[in-house]
């Protein structure tokens, strides 16, 4: 940070800590749990990475992704290099730097799922939601992803909807299955 802004930033942090100013993102106050004023983020590397992972989990839980503005604020407030935060955020697949849908659908494309029709199931979900794997619907209701393996091959083909594992899926059951769990909009 340029020296001329350092004093201004420190003054802002003091006002923030004293409750004279609140930090907001998308109109929501950033909680102390997400951005604690007393944490330094320092320690041995493993401890620091665990601290960063915990922070990122809290941020993602609140926003459904990791907004750049919030990451910059956390880096400055916790005195953690932004590059360290970014490296942790990009290392773990569970973090997203792009907005994702309220409802996350994950299709397995591992060998067992593939040979039992996993690709057709992904295609049917894609058709119903009008998004491709790796995309989020414009209304941010749905995100569709594929993964190499979910580790439950006995349940193949497997789809995970909002964390719920749904095995032995068939293309004929996809539409009713999704309608039971998600707010699908009919045209």
Backbone phi, psi, residue 7, to 5°: -65, -40
Model confidence pTM above 0.75: no
| CA–CA dist 155, 36 (Å, integer) | 42
pLDDT at 36 over 50: no
Q: Which fold has domain 103-181?
A: Glutaredoxin (3.40.30)
Helix, strand, or coil here: 9? helix
Q: How many helices (H) and strands (E) does the chain have?
A: 7, 7
pLDDT tens column, 109-161: 999 999 999 999 999 999 999 999 999 999 999 999 999 999 999 999 999 99
pLDDT tens column, 6-32: 565 566 556 555 655 444 434 444 444
**Domain ranges, ordered by start, for the chain:** 3-91, 103-181
**Residue 34 corresponds to which tokens in the numbers above?**
């997400």
């Amino acid at each position: 940070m340029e020296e001329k802004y350092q004093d201004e930033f420190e003054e802002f942090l003091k006002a923030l800590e004293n409750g004279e100013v609140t930090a907001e993102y998308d109109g929501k106050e950033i909680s102390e749990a997400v951005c604690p004023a007393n944490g330094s983020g320092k320690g041995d590397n493993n401890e620091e990475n665990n601290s960063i992972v915990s922070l990122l989990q809290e941020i993602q839980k609140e926003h459904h992704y990791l907004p750049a503005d919030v990451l910059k604020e956390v880096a400055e407030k916790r005195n953690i290099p932004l590059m360290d935060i970014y490296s942790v955020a990009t290392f773990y697949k569970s973090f997203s730097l792009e907005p994702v849908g309220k409802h996350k659908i994950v299709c397995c494309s591992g060998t067992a799922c593939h040979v039992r029709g996993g690709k057709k199931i992904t295609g049917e979900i894609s058709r119903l939601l009008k998004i491709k794997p790796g995309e989020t619907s414009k209304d941010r209701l749905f995100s569709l992803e594929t993964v190499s393996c979910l580790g439950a091959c006995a349940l193949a083909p497997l789809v995970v909807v909002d964390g719920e594992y749904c095995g032995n899926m068939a293309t004929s059951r996809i539409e009713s299955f999704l309608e039971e769990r998600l707010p699908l909009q009919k045209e």
